[in-house]
Structure 1
Amino acid sequence: MDTDPGIDDAMALLYLAGRDDVELRAVTSVYGNTDVDSALLNIARVLDLAGLGETPTARGASGPLEGTAELAAPVHGIDGLGGLWPEPARPLRLSELSSAELIVEIGRAEPRQHHLFALGPLTNLGLALQLDPLILTRYRSVMVMGGSGPFGPPGSELTADSNVSNDPVAARAVFAAPRVSMLSVGVNVTIQAILDEGFWADLRSSGSAWSHFSATVLQQYNDFYRHTWGRRISPAHDGFAVALALEPGWIRAVERGPVNVLSDGYGARARLMRLPDGSLPAFEIEPVPDTDVVVEGDKAAFVADLMRILRRGRSR
């Protein structure tokens, strides 16, 4: 898991840690929702809470391949968790390798044994591709929480495609790279996985440490999204993405085709190069390998499963 925690990333990490069918081989950090050192600290906080402090970790990129980092402090708070959670009790098992180097080492040493989940800006994967242009083929699959799906009907709007826009150069390299399989779960899908007031109230009434953590850090997220919806609710972007990668039966619609990274001068998006009727958009399409792009997922099944895991914690 390559991640930039971030509130929704932290909850996605807890979700993975709580599933009986998942083993975390490593967690690598990257800038994005916060600076890379805070992201690494937040990984330590979550792994400590989950009892997984021995999981290998690595420090990753502090900014994009080109340009400067634009951190999401207004969304996630200055430290990525709203300044609401204490320091971890135990230090990380920190690799001497960078995130990109660790991704390459694991892929080469244990080829096609692991799934690679990319939940932040794609800089570490871009750097890994510079070290080994075939690195994505050395993983069983790659899941990217990023992209905006196919083009929508005229008049439709989308939230920012932050993981792509933060490093469009790296994103373009990732979507163009050889791979065994790649799943894109974009903001057009993840924005629909809403954790509402009832979900937050249930967390706050639960006695589990995981629920307490999640209810605490969601305060920051809910405060931010009040300005979007007028309610103290928030989307579980990264959690929904990892859930759909683990539970393909929850994918209600998927389209397959080339994904190109496009910029309008304000921001970048990764788009499946297709219009709603299946025809081609008014762009010259860059030839790249096909990506499986989720269009719709079972939000209710995921939210219920997330609550189950947060109330229970780890069962192993």
Structure 2
Amino acid sequence: MTRRIVVDTDTGIDDAHTLLYLAGRPDAEIVAITSVFGNCEEEDAVRNIGHVNRLIGLDVPVARGAAEPLAGTANIAGHVHGKDGLGDRGYHRPLPPVTGESAAELLVRLAAEQPGELDLLALGPLTNLAAALRLDPELFTRYRSVVLMGGSGPYAPPGTLLMIDANVHNDPAAARAVFAAPRNELVMVGVNVTGTTILDERAIGALRAAGTPRARFATEILDSYLDFYQNEWGRRIIPLHDPLAAGILLDPGFATASMYGPVNIRSDGFLSRARLMRTHDGLPPAFPYEPAPDTRVITAVDAPRFVADFVEALTQ
């Protein structure tokens, strides 16, 4: 069965990889794309959408979204994805044709026109989704599912450290609105699992050797991403953050364990995270928390199987 997907993206390197992955999966149809700030400025995000769409031959509605969070200023990850979001390779990236509506308006209109038929895949800060909920508080009940790359899972075992939950940290107020909203199904694919899904040297070598336009582009844009992550592991490897969320949307079997419960946005004074209000062994936390509808929170994945599927989709 083909999943018809609306993608909301702050089009950096792993977002571009996600669009390539979806284009390579026969059971996925991208029906619209919306842009948001995050990995790069919003204008770069929409330019990158246009660039990837031309590469994969995709002609779908594109709507421009938020350039900054609901409160505060944007935190742009140029040190990770390059200033332009695609590793500063110097690509010619003209602005693509866009609809006359905002990202939020497009998300609401499509759900109203095709209730229960579309899945929403959110790959960046959740600002556009929060803005759409202001227009239609029941929005998520009109999507078949909402799958987002963000969050940190349940509280980790003592002594465990996690990667930054960047998409939530970049707009915690928007994330709070999203996790509080009524929904059919909301799936959180957080850094607790994306950080374990590694595109290693062998897999990168397979992409380089493929020679197809999609695989060539996927490896061209990797350098700045590899430069960043080599400081984490001492190896030129990367986690497949956003692609994993797309993979789980298409094949829930990539997730080998999950928990259900309320998600709250918590800050330690420096970083904000979306946390399932459970400890790693399923107990409630030792403090009061806000009630919220249940979110399906992914806690373990079959990383080798997903990485093999990702490479196959980009090299076939």
Shared fold, TM over 0.5: yes
- 1:161 paired residue number: 165
| Among candidates 210, 220, 229, match of residue 214 of structure 2 | 210
One-letter code aligned to 1:269: R
Tell me by how many angstroms 1:278 deviates: 1.8
Structure 1 stretch displaced more, 194-203 or 71-80: 194-203
1:17 and 2:23 aligned: yes
1:223 and 2:217 are equivalent in the alignment: no
Q: Give a deviation string over 1:5-60, Cα, whole Å, max 9, x none.
A: 110011011111111111111010000000000000111111111010x2111110
Q: CA RMSD in A?
A: 1.1
1:174-222: CA deviation from partner (whole Å, max 9, x where unpaired): 0000001111000010011111111222211212001100111111111
**Deviating 4+ runs (over 3 angstroms):** none
Alignment-derived partner of residue 154 in structure 2: 150
Which structure 1 residue ranges, 5 or more long, are not aligned? none
Task: Indicate whether 1:117 and 2:121 are aligned.
Answer: yes
Alignment TM-score, normalising by the size of structure 1: 0.96
**CA–CA distance in 2 between the matches of 1:128 and 1:172?**
14
- What letter matches 1:51 in structure 2? G
- 1:24-63 equivalent positions in 2, closer than 5 A: 24-52=30-58, 54-63=59-68
Paired with 2:172 and 2:281, the residues of 1 have a C-alpha distance of 27
Where do 1:284-295 residues align within 5 Å?
284-295=288-299
Any unmatched runs of 5+ in structure 2? 1-6
SS in structure 1 at match of 2:150: coil
Match of 1:171 in 2: 175
Contact 1:259 1:291 in 2 (8 A): yes
Percent identical residues: 52
Q: Distance in 2 between matches of 1:109 and 1:137?
A: 13
Question: Paired residue for 2:74?
Answer: 69
Q: Which moved more, 1:275-284 or 1:188-197?
A: 275-284
Conserved 8 A contact 1:143-1:184: yes
State the 1:283 CA deviation: 2.3
1-structure distance, mates of 2:287, 2:76: 30
Provide the rounded CA distance (Å) in 1 between the counterparts of 2:287 and 2:100: 43
Q: CA deviation at 1:249?
A: 1.4
| 1:239-290 alpha-carbon deviations (Å, 9 max, x no partner) | 0111012111121001001111111110110101011222111221211100
